[in-house]
Amino acid sequence: MKEEPNREEALLNAALQLPSAEERTAYLKEACNDDDELRQRVEALLQAHEQAGGFLEQPPAAVSQKTFAITTGMVPVTEKPGDKIGRYKLLQQIGEGGCGVVYVAEQEEPVRRRVALKVIKLGMDTKQVIARFEAERQALALMDHPNIAKVLDAGATDTGRPYFVMELVRGIKITDYCDKHNFSTEERLKLFIPVCSASKESFQGRVRGVQIDKFSA
């Protein structure tokens, strides 16, 4: 039963490497042979991925930039420290993006440890945003890189909003670390090499939003 989702994922990832919609369609037609049901499922995933890609970068045509900025900033965050999502107790909010919030959380079972938990904001759980979020979650789960935190768990809240759990990486922003230690240009470049390696892995996995200030040292 696990082979079919894996095949869908492999076909989706391969199709995403092709530059045009025509090439993707031709590839899926050939790769899926006579399995129209499989082809349609992958095409649906591909469409959701493409629609989600620019969903938050451009506001709707009928909405001004100012209105878009205000309304997206007014999306309520319902969870607060002390609340629980699944088996994780939220301790502190440490990050917030256009559609998700990141918390330090404590896993209470089967082992007790602190983790990072990212969940979609209330009100942002549209089909497009969920597709983008789940694509990010899946891409991160498949990564195996020493400089990228590993995905440990995933699930959905009681209201159906997806979340995923990652290793909690302690540190300070890499730029602040360099400034604090008065690194020379050469020292900064040496530290930048593993950053480039991790960034390449992220881009190949089609994880968006990779910025230098998201790296810690």
CATH code of the domain containing 160: 3.30.200.20
Span of 56-65, 70-79, 155-164 with lowest mean pLDDT? 56-65
What are the structure tokens assigned to 141, written together?
């789960």
- Does 67 reside within a domain? no
Contact between residue 100 and residue 133 where contact means Cβ atoms under 8 Å apart = yes
Q: What is the pLDDT of residue 170?
A: 78
In whole angstroms, what is the distance from residue 56 CA to residue 68 CA? 10
Q: What is the pLDDT of residue 105?
A: 96
Together in a domain, 180 and 106: no
Strand ranges for 46-159 from DSSP E? 84-85, 88-96, 100-107, 113-120, 151-156
Strand order in the sheet with 88-96: 84-85, 88-96, 100-107, 113-120, 162-167, 151-156
Together in a domain, 156 and 184: no
Span 182-204, mean pLDDT? Answer: 72
CA 213 to chain centre: 16
Span 16-38, mean pLDDT? Answer: 83
Specify the number of domains making up the chain: 3
Whole-model pTM above 0.75? no
* pLDDT, tens digit (0-9, with 9 covering 90-100), for 127-164: 777 887 887 777 777 776 666 778 889 888 988 888 99
Q: What is the mean pLDDT of the chain?
A: 74
Domain that holds residue 133: 73-167
Q: What is the pLDDT of residue 104?
A: 95
Highest mean pLDDT among 133-137, 166-170, 190-194: 166-170
Confidence of residue 74 (pLDDT cuts 50, 70, 90): very low
In whole angstroms, what is the distance from residue 203 CA to residue 64 CA? 31
Together in a domain, 102 and 154: yes
- Does 163 reside within a domain? yes
Confidence of residue 6 (pLDDT cuts 50, 70, 90): low
Span 40-65, mean pLDDT? Answer: 57
Contact between residue 50 and residue 56 where contact means Cβ atoms under 8 Å apart = no
Together in a domain, 77 and 163: yes
Q: Does position 204 have pLDDT exceeding 80, yes or no?
A: no
Q: What is the pLDDT of residue 85?
A: 93
In whole angstroms, what is the distance from residue 98 CA to residue 24 CA? 29
Together in a domain, 43 and 116: no
Contact between residue 95 and residue 101 where contact means Cβ atoms under 8 Å apart = yes
Q: Does position 42 have pLDDT exceeding 70, yes or no?
A: yes
